[in-house]
Structure 1
Amino acid sequence: MSQPLEASAEALVRQLEQQQRSIEQSMLSAGRVTATATSPDHSVTVALNHLGHITELTFAGGKYRSMAPGELSRVITDTIARARNDLLDQLSGAYLRDAPASLDVRAVMSGNFDVAKVMRDMVEEGVATHDSTFARFKTMRDGDAGSGDRR
């Protein structure tokens, strides 16, 4: 491998290691994220963990006792939805700050995303973000391929 190509490869490995450390830190931070929401009438409060699982459902006062079942159900589900939106906002800021801009956090959290598209976007964004390193690496690789220089 030529010296410039080797230096570029080492730079890419360092960048990858730095990104890996950043992702690990983000994952640790995300594991501590929680969200809480209270209904507008303060009759229901919902707490969620970082996975979106309900960890607490509290009924305040006695108003919930006089609600029709459909109304109580709506208040509970709306409050859960507000807590989940808050959770997604927090996770998108902490957990996925290094993710490609095109990544839809809500789609990822709900499982409605195309993994292949995400990977393509990450590669394209990585090339754009680290243009000089990747371009230099590609140029040297393509140049070395034609020279027959194999070390």
Structure 2
Amino acid sequence: MNDWMSSADWQGVVDSASADLDQERAKLSRLSELWSLHTVVHSKDHAVSVTVDGRGELVDLSFGGSKYRSMPAAQLASLILETVARARADAMAKVTEVMGTTSVPGLDLEGLMSGKVDPLEAMNSLFEPMLDGLGLREWSAKDEHDGGGTNRG
């Protein structure tokens, strides 16, 4: 134990970090449930329908009626892109509604869900507050700089 931190301080930091980690872990486990949900959005003229999964990834594209056949290619492409964008936004809104905000600074749940954030970066952001509280973050950064493998024991 370090001289600069009492036993009670140490336990408080560990308990707080553990509670935050448990809360975020529960949110992330609910994420897998949300990813199985599908969102269907129709274009305003119902010529195009798209289905996206909980991550906003396109899983189905269908055309209603025959109106799409007489559309210029650029107009049809624009209609498809617009409808997919609306479906993705709806899917992300559902996830954000259920997940709420994160109590961990730097954890981008929306970026994680959309695949824009590396899961390793997300895990690091979960542990950084705990390392900061324990005064170990500088130690961890030193190990990375030294190539790891530093024996602390």
Query: Is TM more than 0.5 here?
Result: yes
The question of 1:63 aligning with 2:67 is answered yes
TM-score, normalising length from structure 2?
A: 0.60
Give the 5 Å matches for 1:113-128.
119=125, 123=129
Counterpart CA distance in 2 for 1:70 and 1:103 is 38
In the alignment, what sits opposite 2:52?
A: 48
TM-score, normalising length from structure 1?
A: 0.60
Counterpart CA distance in 2 for 1:111 and 1:78 is 20
Contact map agreement 1:29 1:95 (CA 8 A) in 2 = no
Counterpart CA distance in 2 for 1:60 and 1:97 is 38
Give the Å deviation of 1:102: 7.5
SS of match in other structure, 1:11: helix
Counterpart CA distance in 2 for 1:99 and 1:86 is 23
CA-based RMSD of the aligned residues comes to: 3.6
In the alignment, what sits opposite 1:81?
A: 85
Counterpart CA distance in 1 for 2:77 and 2:53 is 21
Q: Deviations over 1:94-123 (max 9, x none)?
A: 24533558866665536289x69x949x84
Larger helix fraction of residues:
1
Give the 5 Å matches for 1:9-20.
9=13, 11-12=15-16, 14-20=18-24
Give the 5 Å matches for 1:1-16.
2-9=6-13, 11-12=15-16, 14-16=18-20
Q: Aligned in 2, Cα 1:31/1:110: closer, same or farther, shift over 3 Å?
A: closer
Alignment gaps of 5+ in structure 1: 128-133, 139-151
Counterpart CA distance in 2 for 1:85 and 1:97 is 17
In the alignment, what sits opposite 2:101?
A: 97
* Count of residues in correspondence between the two structures: 125
Q: Which structure is higher in RCO with an 8 Å CA cutoff and minimum separation 6?
A: 1
Contact map agreement 1:37 1:83 (CA 8 A) in 2 = yes
Q: 1:111 aligns with which of 98, 109, 116?
A: 116
Contact map agreement 1:33 1:91 (CA 8 A) in 2 = no
Q: Which has the larger radius of gyration?
A: 1
Percent identical residues: 23
